[in-house]
Amino acid sequence: MALDRQRIPVLEVDATPLRVPDLVAELSRFVEEGSTRTVLGHNLHSVTLTLSDEGFRDLYQRSDVVLLDGAPVLWLWGRTGKAEGPVMDYRLGTTDWLPALGQVRGLERIAVIGAGAEANAAAVRQLELVVPGARVAGLPGEGWNGDLEERAVEWLHGQRPQLVLLGLGMPLQEEVLQRRLADMPPATYCAVGGAIEQLAGFQKLAPRWLGRMGLEWAWRLLLHPRRVAYRVLGEPWVLLWLLGSRRLKRTVPRPGK
């Protein structure tokens, strides 16, 4: 059963605001139960996809945990006044909670899917340090296609992980969960975007003070302009149009009424 959801004002989506200790407690519970769970994150990109793609929206609605990832989403939720302590404590990008995996009770088997072979191997080594004694296995995701997806499902059945970090980028990783979650072995599946390369040291993280100011987008735009320019400069306008269209539909009376 999903945790209690809270509505994010303006954006018309729900999330499960948690701090790192709260998420550690939930992951510990999921590992103990041994059932299939999903952990996703909400930023402006995922909000846009949630409002425009029915399959994406259904995945988020069924997810067990939807973290607040991205300053605008966090700030808007902060308007509800439901934060206990600093609002920024509830911002959980993947790299905020991965270092705490060593605190998850009973976590012994981890699978890492995504990134190139070198980055994947480096991330596996790093996680072995974060979770001492855990068996960490990796499967690169570069060049993802139907054959690799099928192999990944078979590989997961062989590994029998308790926690899966799926880092194929958004929306590919969410599309894979939509297609194959029912075929995968019981585990907690976390969509982690580019965190595998970040964990491996292949992508330079923004200084934490920038993150707390909500300016990570400027850092990413500076380092990877081609990759993130549309998401930073173009997609917010698409989101505004989607939100405006939804509100217009609710205010325009239907014929005969």
Q: Give the DSSP letter string of 94-125.
A: HHHHGGGGGGSTT--EEEEEES-HHHHHHHHH
Q: What is the per-residue pLDDT for 168?
A: 97
Q: What is the per-residue pLDDT for 189?
A: 98
Question: Taking the C-alpha atoms of 22, 26, 27 and 28 in order, what is their torsion angle to the nearest 10 degrees?
Answer: 100
Give Cβ neighbours of residue 153 (< 8 Å, ≥ 6 apart): 180, 183, 184
Enter the pTM of the model: 0.86
> Mean per-residue pLDDT for 185-213?
81
Name which residue leads in pLDDT, 67 or 4: 67
Query: Alpha-carbon distance 221 to 62, whole Å?
Result: 32
DSSP letter for each residue of 185-226: PSSEEEE-TTHHHHHHTSSPPPPHHHHHTT-HHHHHHHH-HH
Query: Alpha-carbon distance 132 to 225, whole Å?
Result: 37
What pLDDT band is residue 226 in, cutting at 50, 70 and 90? Answer: low
**Range of lowest pLDDT (69-73, 94-98, 159-163, 179-183):** 69-73
Name which residue leads in pLDDT, 243 or 91: 91
Q: What is the per-residue pLDDT for 256?
A: 59
**Range of lowest pLDDT (32-46, 94-108, 129-143, 213-227):** 213-227
Q: Which amino acid is at 146?
A: G
Q: Which amino acid is at 252?
A: V
Sign for the pseudo-dihedral over CA of 237, 220, 95, 153? positive
> Is the pLDDT reported for residue 217 higher than 60?
no
Query: Under a CB-based contact definition with an 8 Å cutoff, are residues 120 and 144 in contact?
Result: no
> How many CA atoms, within 13 angstroms, populate the side-chain half-sphere of residue 185?
17
Determine what percent of the chain is predicted with pLDDT higher than 90.
69
Q: Where are the alpha helices (DSSP H) in the chain?
A: 20-33, 44-52, 54-62, 71-78, 94-97, 117-130, 146-159, 172-180, 195-200, 208-212, 216-223, 225-229, 235-251
- pLDDT tens digits for 10-32? 898 999 999 999 999 999 999 99
The distance in angstroms from the start CA to the end CA of the chain is 39
As given in the structure block, the two tokens for residue 70 are 């991205």
> Is the pLDDT reported for residue 214 higher than 70?
no
Q: What is the per-residue pLDDT for 17?
A: 96
As given in the structure block, the two tokens for residue 43 are 């930023």
> Is the pLDDT reported for residue 148 higher than 80?
yes
Q: What is the per-residue pLDDT for 187?
A: 98
What pLDDT band is residue 207 in, cutting at 50, 70 and 90? Answer: low
Q: What is the per-residue pLDDT for 253?
A: 61
Q: What is the per-residue pLDDT for 225?
A: 67
Q: What is the per-residue pLDDT for 4?
A: 83
> Is the pLDDT reported for residue 83 higher than 60?
yes
- pLDDT tens digits for 233-242? 566 666 677 6
